[in-house]
A and B are shown apart, each in its own frame.
Chain A
Amino acid sequence: MNETATQTVVRLDRVGKTYGSGESAVHAVEDVSLELEPGKFFILMGPSGSGKTTLLMLMGCLLRPTSGVVYLFDRKVSGLGEAELPRVRRDNVGFIFQGFNLFPALTALENVEATLNLKGLRGEAARAKARDLLGHIGLAKRLHHLPEDLSGGEKQRVAVARALAGNPPIILADEPTGQLDSKTGRLIVEVLKDLAHNEGRLIFMVSHDTRILGLADRIFTIDDGHLKD
């Protein structure tokens, strides 16, 4: 890859997050520095309670660090206020969760469409885009199903389509395969890997599954809040 074209999308500089204070303080993430480039598929591993989700939330601007600085595209976002953060997330980040988090009352299409609406796309354009996103991920025949009528793998694919709504350069996924069998899980991971390699997105995924490590461009491990390559 051309060196000059490589730009850092996410940069953490000595970032720490402590929950609570005094006796009950939990140092969930300590002194983490890293730089992540676009077009790469990253996997983060670590034992339960080691700080994976916390790190993901810091990168996704859902949490503000108690120390250090978070940069997105060289912009310092860790100092932004509650009023600006939603906008930063909206323009930059898509999330995928272990529990899918789809609106049970909305069909697959509507779940994606609602997110597009939120990101400023309206009416027929939003509908067409949602159909497009779901079609790309192989759900063209499931557009009008409610989440309860979809399999786990299908639900997670809807969630992937939703994460892609608004075309965010960063996708953060927290154990997206946690509720799927290994075969379905692997398919989802392959989809994510392709999103990185073919579309140039930065994919950062938390996983426990050692069998998929081979798909990653780079693997991080975290233990007790400390990050290792």
Chain B
Amino acid sequence: MVSIARKNLFHDKVRLAVALAGITFAVVLITVQVGVYLAFLANASVLIDHTEADIWITAHGLENFDFGRAFSEKKLYEVEEVPGVLWAEKYFLAFGYWKTPTGSQETVQMIGFDPETLVGAPWDIVRGNPQDVKYFNSIFYDEAETNRLGDVPIGGETEINNHRVRVVGITRGAKSFIQSPYIFTSFKNALNLSYVSKGNTVYILVKVAPGASVEAVKQRLKETVKDVDVYTSREFSKKTRDYWMINTGTGVALLSIALMGVVIGTVIVANTIYTSTTEHLKEYGTLKAVGASNWHLYKIILEQAVINSVLGFGLGMFVSYWVIQVMKRGNLQVLLPWPILAGVYVTTLLMCLGSSLLSIYKVTKIDPALVFKS
């Protein structure tokens, strides 16, 4: 079989290059934006998702995890009394000012957990033992934050809110790129370092007893404990992500750039495929004259679209890989699971097929007399 599509495509190298540039551009924009979006999404709730609690109790009217507000820790006793609660733990979150080695200030979020139970402790440790945060003003910070916080070594000291603190460990993957860097320490240290008054907590984490229903325990907590909000972990995680994605418009911004990539890519590809079709109209007409059905001509055009999509996607992935490497060096995270890459290819294919519609319309309408014009 002679592939007219392939021959046509590779005959005009300049046009092929333009089409592939268009597709590659679109693929890179989509891949990178979606990757950033997903990383953003996963990241927004990273601490909630890595904590083994079933239920989160927060101050009433809280919008998301990062805006935690203090409430009386006496609620803990009420929570513990509710049937179905296996255990309940205080968990602290507050902003603080970190003094970098150069002397500048960086806003950080201090996480306070119980070093005995390690509920809410960092989950991926590069160096150090998380139980060591029980010592006076001992903290962990994330390896990905050194460019913001400065490279303070283990055993090194700096200041948070003008209190001397000591680095006892380094975490991995506990990085918020929406918010300020997370600093892990004990509940007690965090409370002392913060401006929150004693006798308060920011969250209460609840584990439901085996066999008890999370939903039922949540309902009971809601009825029993006043002036707080009660969420399952999944609800709180989603609420936090939705806040960052929807309320701040971040998601819309990221996805509209990806959409723009699709639109620009489609326009470029549609344009090149259409010009190519118009130039070959007489030959298509000739095929029609000798008995080709419209469908036969569509197949040639669609095959061109498919070849374009495969080559453009390949190039796009190659370029995206390098763009992502550069972004990672700049500390921007990108998350691209396989199903998403498959989705990007499907989008590319649809874009290329969609770009062919105008050409398909054009060959459907070929005037047979055209082939007789010299």
Chain A contact residues, CB within 8 Å of chain B: 53, 56-57, 60, 62-63, 86-91, 93-95, 97-99, 101-106, 110, 113-115, 117-119, 122-123, 126, 162-163, 165-166, 174-175, 178-179
Contact = CB atoms under 8 A, between A and B. Distances in A.
B2 A95 contact: no
Given A63-B369, A105-B12, A118-B291, 7 more contacts: A57-B372, A101-B286, A103-B4, A105-B4, A114-B287, A118-B287, A178-B374
A106 B7 contact: yes
A89 B2 contact: no
Q: Give the interface centre of B10, B282, B296 by most chain A CB atoms within 10 Å.
A: B282
Contacts of B293: 86
A105 B290 contact: no
Contacts of B358: none
Contact of B289 (A60, A119, A178): A60
B11 interface: yes
Interface in B1-37: 1-2, 4, 7-8, 10-12
A117 B289 contact: no
A179 B4 contact: no
A118 B296 contact: yes
Contacts of B291: 86-91, 93, 118-119, 166
Contact of B372 (A56, A93, A110): A56
15 contacts: A57-B372, A62-B369, A86-B288, A88-B291, A93-B289, A95-B290, A98-B372, A101-B371, A105-B8, A118-B292, A119-B290, A122-B1, A126-B1, A166-B290, A166-B291
Given A57-B369, A114-B4, A118-B296, A62 B289 contact: yes
Contacts of B292: 86, 90, 118
Given A57-B368, A60-B289, A174-B372, A99 B4 contact: no
B363 to A, nearest CB: 13
Given A53-B369, A99-B374, A94 B4 contact: no
B283 interface: yes
Contacts of B368: 57, 62-63
A57 B366 CA distance: 14
A97 B288 CA distance: 14
The 9 tightest CB contacts between A and B, nearest first, are A90-B291, A105-B11, A62-B368, A101-B286, A98-B374, A105-B7, A99-B374, A114-B2, A89-B291
A101 B7 contact: no
Contacts of A165: 290
Contact of B4 (A106, A162, A166, A174): A106
A94 B8 CA distance: 23
Nearest to A162: B290
Contacts of A175: 374
Nearest to A122: B1
Contacts of B8: 103, 105
Contacts of A60: 289
Contacts of B280: 103
A89 B374 contact: no
Interface in B317-374: 368-369, 371-374
A117 B374 CA distance: 26
Contacts of B296: 118
Contacts of B2: 106, 110, 113-114, 117
Contact of A97 (B7, B10, B11, B286): B286
B173 to A, nearest CB: 52
A95 B371 contact: yes
A117 B300 CA distance: 13
A95 B11 contact: no
Contacts of A174: 372
A119 B8 CA distance: 20
Interface string B277-308: 00010110111111111001000000000000
Contacts of A114: 2, 4, 287
A80 to B, nearest CB: 13
Q: Give the interface centre of A87, A115, A119 by most chain B CB atoms within 10 Å.
A: A115
Contacts of B10: 105
A89 B290 contact: yes
Nearest to A119: B291
Nearest to A92: B291
B289 A89 contact: yes
Nearest to B288: A86
A97 B372 contact: yes
Contacts of A104: 11, 283
Given A53-B369, A97-B372, A103 B283 contact: yes
Contacts of B282: 99, 101
A39 to B, nearest CB: 22
Contacts of A119: 290-291
Contact of B1 (A63, A89, A117, A163): A117
A123 B371 contact: no
A117 B287 CA distance: 11
Contact of B7 (A53, A103, A126): A103
Given A57-B368, A63-B368, A122-B1, A102 B283 contact: yes
Given A103-B283, A106-B4, A53 B290 contact: no
Contacts of A93: 289-291
Given A62-B368, A122-B1, A179 B290 contact: no
Interface in B234-293: 280, 282-283, 285-293
Contacts of A53: 369, 372
